[in-house]
Amino acid sequence: MKASRTHAAGTAAVAALALALTGCSSTGEGSGDGSSKELTFWGWSPGYADAVKAFNKTHPDIEVTYQEVQPGAKGGYQKMLNAVQAGNAPCLAQVGYETLSSFAAQGALQDVRKQAEGAESDFQPAAWQSVSLGGAVYGAPVDTAPMALFYNKKVYDSLGLKPPATWDEYKEQAKRIHASDPDRYISSPYLNYDYAGMSWQAGASWFGVKDDSWKVDLASAANQEVAGYWQGLVDEGLISGAPMYDQAWYAGIGSGNIATVVGAVWQAGVIKGGAKDGAGDWAVAPMPQWKAGEKAVGNAGGSATAVLKGCGSTEAAWTFAHWLGTDRTAYGDLVTKASLYPAAVGLLDLPQLQVKDAYFGGQPIYDVFAEAAPEVTPGWTWGPIMTKTTTDLDDALSKAWAGKGTLANALVTTRAKTVAELKNQGLKVAE
């Protein structure tokens, strides 16, 4: 499968779609003339509170107050939207890239392209594209989540295997690994944004925009090809039944019965924290490719410091947002405290990213992600109702992974439900 390297046409018209749902107050934190230098920032990442303190010490003309909220999907995003609608939102908020399109479609973001002029080159292209929708810039990237292959080196070495270069090799290794022990599997089910990362790498877009209408591409031929690949592994009994992040999943990783995880950089912390029995057995390698010699990479996560609608201090807001994503001292602490991986190109040589990790056999694992980050396939567009889309997708995919239906049908079903909801919300859909 050839990964697309073109920008998605959809990003050019997201701003126009936002007009249909705006209806939000234009008043909020700060004064309308931009003179206010007192800002509030809502977020949840570990280390953010300390970063704000560091900023305030070095920027006496701007005072940022940090308020911790629930992670986005657990209530933080709804709190932000409610505040925008009430006209009392903070200027700044932590918003995942996958949710920015939804916020834009609801008129909840403020365009800071004037303040951000010249900053594009500071960030990885895919990260910058994620905050640049419809010609507007809605904040500054903070972290990105390039993907790689986490693999149990002890299991691989015992079978004389090397990390696979292609997905075809990965499938052949799956057969050997399972044949070596009936309780041992190559991988486990992937849902929502973890699954999206597989599609992303393959250039199998989920959304786009044609003229002033949303395109919903979930069931496209490219997506069906990705689904067909994983369906083949399911049909041959090579996928563990343990759901990701379930206790059985951690147990499988710790014992080596789940021999690989295809995941984002932040999975390193998840694996280390939840599967301590696997310490020293694991390693990290580049993501397998659809075609030998390619270097395409998917992304699964990452967030921005977004400027919310109604902010009266956009210059100060951009100053903080850009600083949080680019300051070497502050970001080094975020790597240590929150396992964030920088979206800024100038931070990829941070000493905190050079550390040899004992859990991964002393491997400096961030070297793999440093090579992967610039290769994240550009052109990905998130839809305007991702919470609804991923809820429906997870339900359908879970059944398919368990043998009740197929991954291909899960995509078809989810697309139909997404299209229906978009129309229900008054958004145009390109059939």
- Per-residue pLDDT tens digits for 150-206: 999 999 999 999 999 999 999 999 999 999 999 999 999 999 999 999 999 999 999
State how beta strands 38-43 and 63-68 pair: parallel
The answer to whether domain 9-145+301-361 and domain 146-297+380-430 are alike in fold is yes
Average of per-residue pLDDT across 76-97: 96
Residue 73, pLDDT > 70, answer yes
Domain spans in the chain, listed from the N-terminal domain onward: 9-145+301-361, 146-297+380-430
Residue 349, pLDDT > 70, answer yes
What pLDDT, in 10s, does the model give residues 376-399?
988 888 999 998 999 999 999 999
Q: What's the confidence (pLDDT) of residue 36?
A: 47
Q: What's the confidence (pLDDT) of residue 7?
A: 34
Q: What's the confidence (pLDDT) of residue 5?
A: 33
CATH numeric code, 9-145+301-361: 3.40.190.10
Residue 46, pLDDT > 50, answer yes
Residue 99, pLDDT > 60, answer yes
Q: Are 217 and 18 in contact (CB under 8 A)?
A: no
Query: What is d(CA 32, CA 22) in angstroms, rounded to the nearest whole number?
Result: 19
Q: Which of 244, 225, 251, 237 is nearest to 186 (CA)?
A: 237
Buried b (16+ CB within 10 A) or exposed e, 324-349: bbbbeebbbbbbebbbbbbbbbebbe
Q: What's the confidence (pLDDT) of residue 378?
A: 81
Q: Are 344 and 335 in contact (CB under 8 A)?
A: no
The DSSP secondary structure of 316-363, one letter per residue, reads HHHHHHHHHHH-HHHHHHHHHHH---BSBGGGTT-GGGSPPBGGGTTB
Angle subtended at Cα 160 by Cα 154 and Cα 161, rounded to the nearest 5 degrees = 80
pLDDT class for 22, splitting at 50, 70, 90? very low
Angle subtended at Cα 76 by Cα 34 and Cα 298, rounded to the nearest 5 degrees = 95
Q: Tokens in use for 58?
A: 């070095």
Stated pTM of the model:
0.85
Average of per-residue pLDDT across 233-238: 97
Residue 4, pLDDT > 50, answer no
Q: Report the half-sphere exposure of 309 (CA within 13 A, side-chain side).
A: 22
Q: Which of 130, 132, 138, 84 is nearest to 111 (CA)?
A: 138
Strand partners, 42: 67, 93
What pLDDT, in 10s, does the model give residues 255-293?
999 999 999 999 998 999 899 999 999 999 999 999 999
What pLDDT, in 10s, does the model give residues 111-121?
999 999 999 99
Tell me which architecture the domain covering 146-297+380-430 has in CATH.
3-Layer(aba) Sandwich (3.40)
Residue 221, pLDDT > 50, answer yes
Q: What's the confidence (pLDDT) of residue 9?
A: 31
Q: Share the mean pLDDT of the chain.
A: 91
The percent of residues above 70 in pLDDT, for the chain, comes to 92
pLDDT class for 126, splitting at 50, 70, 90? confident
Most confident of 2-16, 247-261, 265-279, 331-345: 247-261
**Least confident window among 33-37, 163-167, 281-285, 427-431:** 33-37
DSSP type of residue 307 = E
pLDDT class for 30, splitting at 50, 70, 90? low
The percent of residues above 90 in pLDDT, for the chain, comes to 83
Q: Phi/psi of residue 336, each to 5°?
A: -70, -45
Q: What's the confidence (pLDDT) of residue 31?
A: 52
Residue 329, pLDDT > 70, answer yes
